[in-house]
């Protein structure tokens, strides 16, 4: 087993996930890439490994929208590693039309929140054995357009709107990261969330013609993937945030999220509801 620190990253084969993996490998981290499509991910794994021959770049299949897939990936990690130092919950989804996960939950919510929630909880014992252990969860300023936050409609909304579904899932990311921070205070594990910026990547490539057209027009004004990954890399590796926990970051600086995102009742209820949904 490599002596370097170990970082697990979901959605590490493209966009800001790929840049995060590349830069953390350059900093000496061994990387565990959790990706849905191994055929697309293998060339990226090989590219990062070739650039960083002194660290291990591992690749495992994981569809974060599927409870069974997340559990299988966590089991694989537990079999191969005796500790984890950093977990970056990076994988995200924006879709135009309403879809549901293999477990019957609205797909945006299942992908962006439930998968990260379950994976993090399954890997906590390995994180407790890590050095300066950190959980970094990629959220978004889109949490500000979540609209009325109804916990009972997250998994099966009465009416579907793509941006509201995305915003609600990103609000869940912040609530989860805050509640996780409170629960891990005695373990020395930090938990923070972040807004990567509006990034020019293939994210939302399948979201539909209208959203795609808007992104195309906006692309010259968007952040590069390198700029978008900067806050994830900062939270995963910088000594400046060694003991910082429970905050929401934008451009590597703390930022105040919405009142709903600071609601402790929502955070605790969301945790309990999510635990029941994924069978914890």
Torsion of CA 161, 120, 245, 167, to 10 degrees: 0
- E strand intervals along the chain: 6-10, 30-35, 57-61, 86-89, 134-138, 190-195, 248-250, 253-254
Tokens 């402790």 found at? 264
CB 172 within 8 A of CB 120: no
C-beta contacts of 217-225 below 8 A and 24+ residues apart: 222/197, 222/198, 223/196, 223/197, 223/198, 223/199, 224/199, 224/200, 225/15, 225/16, 225/18, 225/19, 225/199, 225/200, 225/201
Sequence-distant (≥ 6) Cβ neighbours of residue 40 within 8 angstroms? 13, 14
94 among known catalytic residues:
no
Give the whole-angstrom CA distance, residue 254 versus residue 272.
Answer: 27
Catalytic residue among 94, 105, 160, 266: 160
Cα angle: 206, vertex 209, 212; to 5 degrees: 70
Helix (H) or strand (E) holding 45: helix 38-51
Range list of H helices, 56-153: 67-80, 107-109, 115-122, 124-128
Q: Which residues carry out catalysis?
A: 160
């Amino acid at each position: 087993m490599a002596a370097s620190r170990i970082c697990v990253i979901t959605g590490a084969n493209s966009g800001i996930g790929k840049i995060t993996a590349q830069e953390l490998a350059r900093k000496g981290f061994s990387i565990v890439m959790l990706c849905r499509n191994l055929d697309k991910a293998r060339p990226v794994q090989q590219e990062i490994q070739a650039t960083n021959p002194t660290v291990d770049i591992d690749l495992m299949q994981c569809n974060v929208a599927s409870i069974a897939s997340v559990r299988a990936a966590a089991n694989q990690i537990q079999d191969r590693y005796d500790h984890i130092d950093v977990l970056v919950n990076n994988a995200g989804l924006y879709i135009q039309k309403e879809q549901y996960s293999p477990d019957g939950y609205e797909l945006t919510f299942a992908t962006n929140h439930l998968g990260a929630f379950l994976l993090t909880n399954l890997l906590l014992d390995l994180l407790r054995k890590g050095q300066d252990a950190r959980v970094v969860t990629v959220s978004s300023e889109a949490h500000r357009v979540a609209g009325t936050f109804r916990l009972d409609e997250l998994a099966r909304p009465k009416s579907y709107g793509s941006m509201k579904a995305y915003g609600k899932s990103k609000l869940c990311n912040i609530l989860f990261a805050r509640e996780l921070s409170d629960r891990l205070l005695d373990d020395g594990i930090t938990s923070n969330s972040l807004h990567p910026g509006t990034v020019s990547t293939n994210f939302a490539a399948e979201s539909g013609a209208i959203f795609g057209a808007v992104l195309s027009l906006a692309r010259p004004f968007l952040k590069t993937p390198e700029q978008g990954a900067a806050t994830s890399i900062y939270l995963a590796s910088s000594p400046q945030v060694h003991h910082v926990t429970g905050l929401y970051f934008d451009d590597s600086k703390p930022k105040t999220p919405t009142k709903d995102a600071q609601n402790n009742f929502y955070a605790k209820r969301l945790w309990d509801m999510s635990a029941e949904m994924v069978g914890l």
